[in-house]
Chains A and B, each alone.
Chain A
Amino acid sequence: SQTIHQWPATLVQPVGSPLSLECTVEGTSNPNLYWYRQAAGRGLQLLFYSVGIGQISSEVPQNLSASRPQDRQFILSSKKLLLSDSGFYLCAWRVADERYGYTFGSGTRLTVV
């Protein structure tokens, strides 16, 4: 069966520090991968998505970047965090078929101080 791993679960980082969040999927190949951010009490904002190795699409201009160095690995990064980067970051995967939904990772709660 397919599983998705996301880490770390929580993170407290100072303003200006770098960030690296990792997501991996097991049990499937060539998944579509997505990074979402959820501000406290708010909805799900799509940040990046990837349909293959090295293929990254950005939905919202911001202080973040994403990479997909391997088929089942998706990384969210920042060189210098801002206070506004705080939030709940969720990775998700989906087969390339519109008949099926996402499976979300357990999320990373990031607090920038």
Chain B
Amino acid sequence: GENVEQHPSTLSVQEGDSAVIKCTYSDSASNYFPWYKQELGKRPQLIIDIRSNVGEKKDQRIAVTLNKTAKHFSLHITETQPEDSAVYFCAASKRGSSYKLIFGSGTRLLVRP
């Protein structure tokens, strides 16, 4: 089945710097790749997603890139702010198989003021 690996497990950046989180997936049939942000004690919230027919997607300070050939995708956060501090999860899914999402292990991002 699908396996998603996520790196790094922790990331500390200075406020205003950029942060990059990377994920690789194993199933070449996967075609949907969302990113979730989870603040302490809260539910994961979808922040951005990308489908396999697109190579890059941006939403203000957040962007996601997808390399289907290499089977990896990345989250980019520019001009980081303290409120960006959270755990970020990547995920992958494909048509069928109950449309379940397979999640990466998470990245704890700390933005230092």
Contact = CB atoms under 8 A, between A and B. Distances in A.
A54 to B, nearest CB: 15
Interface of A is mostly: loop
B93 interface: yes
B25 to A, nearest CB: 14
Contacts of A42: 105-106
Given A32-B98, A43-B89, A43-B105, A98 B32 contact: yes
A14 B63 CA distance: 45
Nearest to A32: B99
A104 B100 contact: no
Contacts of A44: 44, 89, 103, 106
Given A98-B94, A101-B34, A43 B106 contact: yes
- Interface size class of chain A, counting residues whose CB lies under 8 Å from the partner chain: 20 to 34
A34 B43 contact: no
A43 to B, nearest CB: 5
B31 interface: yes
B13 interface: no
B88 to A, nearest CB: 11
Contacts of B42: 106-107
Contact of B44 (A49, A57, A90, A100): A90
A49 B93 CA distance: 14
Contact of A102 (B41, B94, B101, B104): B101
Contact of B95 (A51, A90, A98): A98
Contacts of B34: 101-102
A5 interface: no
Interface in B78-107: 89, 91, 93-95, 98-106
11 contacts: A44-B106, A96-B99, A98-B32, A101-B36, A101-B91, A102-B34, A103-B46, A104-B45, A106-B42, A107-B42, A109-B41
